[in-house]
Amino acid sequence: MSFMSTAGPQETSMATTQPSVGSATLVTVDIVVLVIYFILVLAVGFWSMWRTKRSTVDGYFLAGKSMTWWPVSVTTQTNTGLAPLRDPKTTVTFYLCSGWGITGMLMVLLLGWLFLPIYISSGVTTMPEYLQKRFGGRRTHLSLAVLSLFIYIFTKISVDMYAGAVFIQLALRWNIYLAIVLLLVITALYTVAGGLAAVIYTDAAQTAIMLAGALTLMGFSFVEVGGWSALMEGYSQAVPSVRVPNSTCGIPREDAFHIFRDPVNSDLPWPGVLIGMSIPSMWYWCSDQVIVQRSLAAKNLTHAKGGSLLAAYLKILPFFAVMLPGMISRILYTDEVACADPDLCKQICGNSVGCSDIAYAKLVMELLPSGLRGLMMAVMIAALMSSLTSIFNSSSTIFTMDLWKSFRSEASEWELMIVGRVFVLVLVVVSVLWIPVVQASQGGQLFIYIQSISTYLQPPIAIIFLMGCFWKRTNEKGAFWGLVIGLAIGCVRMLLDFIYPTPPCYEEDTRPGVLKYVHYLYFSILLSVITLSVVVVVSLATEEPTPEQVKISRLTWFTRFDPVKPKEKLEEVSSASSVSSTSSQSRWMSVIYWLCGMERRRQGENNPVTPPAFEQNICSLEEKPTLHYVVNVNLIISLSVTAFIIGYWA
């Protein structure tokens, strides 16, 4: 199931890096398709604005907790399973080779059946807020909030902008700043105006566009290469004609179609794939704000589980619709996509590390006719926009509810709405300023560094959530010091990776032994064990949390069904709207207020708003017996499919 050559992650991914590749450009028909796409997205975004009360915290950040299972699932899949369309290096290196797709299928089910019942019963809006409720205090809560914003801004946004913008630059010959600014303006428009509801519904529409485009290109690719058998035979023979003397660069691996590889000498040892990748995957699927926030928007637990199930099923499609066409591109354009000589690669795509990034774009520009080429252009833009809107919305939620509200505890709902929207605009500015850094990296090593950040920073966070949810004895001191020590160790390894990057296959590996002999997936296991040990030891060595110090009720797996106490009702009730009344306002101001969802009461409407009961502010854990049976049967089916995939490609 893995499709890598010995040159490593740079050999077989499927997106774009430089605009010098491909002779075809978009024509009038393609431009018309793009215009129709933008009109569709904006129409769906504004339509969703009518459906949700955007002037409340729940309405803006959690879509009023009214989402059904299908938009929750497809938007989750847009931001994960179809990531190769916008995140080229994940396509082979982590989705297939390291079992990222398989662990993702398992973890999204783990989210629906184990973690979501806890998050829903706790009534939280953000993941840092859960830690604050679970452990008390502020330092663990604020540390995770700041770390999450750092990861979102300096990793996810940069990769998404790079992968999408250079594709636009390739097809339209636009200035990269113009392309990115245009996309950011459009995505910010309906993100600021509509909140999570607009993000979810527009992502659902864009998922349909992505699937249609990817499946269309898959059909053209298989016809061109000659079918499945030709793909299996042709890949092993896809060796570039020009290679570095006395080097194995450009030669496909013998174990390219295996998930489980040698535990010592392979590029991806199977114990690291099973365990080392599962821990970061648990963070991403079970405690990352971008993913969990959509599930928290579901109207009840059954719909949340249904969303997880459909997302797991959809994760099978990228293997056929994205991964295999990328391999076909290597077969059809071997000397370009799989170039092994640094000087030649520099001439082909402007990147001496390798030109595998151009594989998917090469197929689009060479195989597809006019019109369909515009559709695939819309697909790439859809992948970029859906990712950016999700990151913008989730980052805005964390900043507003965790950081701003921590220092402005008496902030009114009106103030929180303004801060949330303004922060999205701040992210847009930061994204534009980050473009030169992304360009300077040229994509060759950027993704490797970003995966290093993920592998070295995510395991400690995953362990903290795991222990908080399933071990009642975990206290604040144990969680905090486990997080701090784990992140410190991870940062040391990450800095070493920056200082001593992995050499190309034609150079001798002179890195320190801790980098050369300790695979990063094994290091992920070691880091998880160290963090877990610190949490357990410190928690047992310090005082047990008392009910006065922290509220365990409804915050762990074992206490999720506890009754809601009257004291909690008073604490959790949403504050009455402090929106100031106004006697008159201009039509322009009225339009602006409506666009932002900032509803104002007319003069005389100063009656206090009756706060809803706490039980109505959270999703019930109760499930209808019939639907409960249906989702559990589908859980068994999904697990069986996953087991078959593992067995077939192991």
pLDDT digits (tens, 9 = 90+) for 260-273: 778 887 777 888 88
Mean per-residue pLDDT, 243-258: 73
CATH 1.20.1730.10 fits 28-438+446-565+620-649, yes or no: yes
* CA distance readout (Å), 538 to 88, 481, 531, 535, 569: 41, 8, 11, 6, 32
Q: What is the mean pLDDT of residues 342-363?
A: 76
Q: Cβ distance 292 to 398 under 8 Å? A: no
- Average pLDDT of the chain to the nearest whole number: 74
Domain ranges of the chain: 28-438+446-565+620-649
Q: Is 58 exposed, middle or buried (0-12, 13-18, 19+ CB in 10 A)?
A: buried
Tens-digit pLDDT profile for residues 414-428: 788 788 888 888 887
CA 29, CA 580: separation in Å to the nearest integer?
50
pLDDT for the residue numbered 553: 83
State the average pLDDT over residues 129-138: 89
- Global pTM? 0.79
Predicted confidence (pLDDT) per residue in 275-321, tens digit = 888 898 899 889 988 888 888 878 888 888 988 888 888 888 777 78
Among 167-176, 222-231, 248-257, the range scoring the smallest mean pLDDT is 167-176
Amino acid letter, 492 = V
Q: What is d(CA 96, CA 551) in angstroms, rounded to the nearest whole number?
A: 42
Percent of the chain scored above 70 by pLDDT?
69
Q: Residue 285 region, left (φ>0) first, then alpha (ψ -120 to 50), else beta? A: alpha
Distances in Å between the Cα of 248 and the Cα atoms of 5, 251, 502 are 9, 6, 16
Write the DSSP string, 488-530: HHHHHHHHHHHHSPPPPTTS---S-HHHHTS-HHHHHHHHHHH
∠ CA 201-202-204, rounded to 5°: 65
pLDDT digits 0-9 by tens, 571-589:
444 443 444 444 445 666 5
**pLDDT tens per residue across span 463-519:** 999 999 999 999 999 999 999 999 999 999 988 887 887 777 777 888 888 888 888
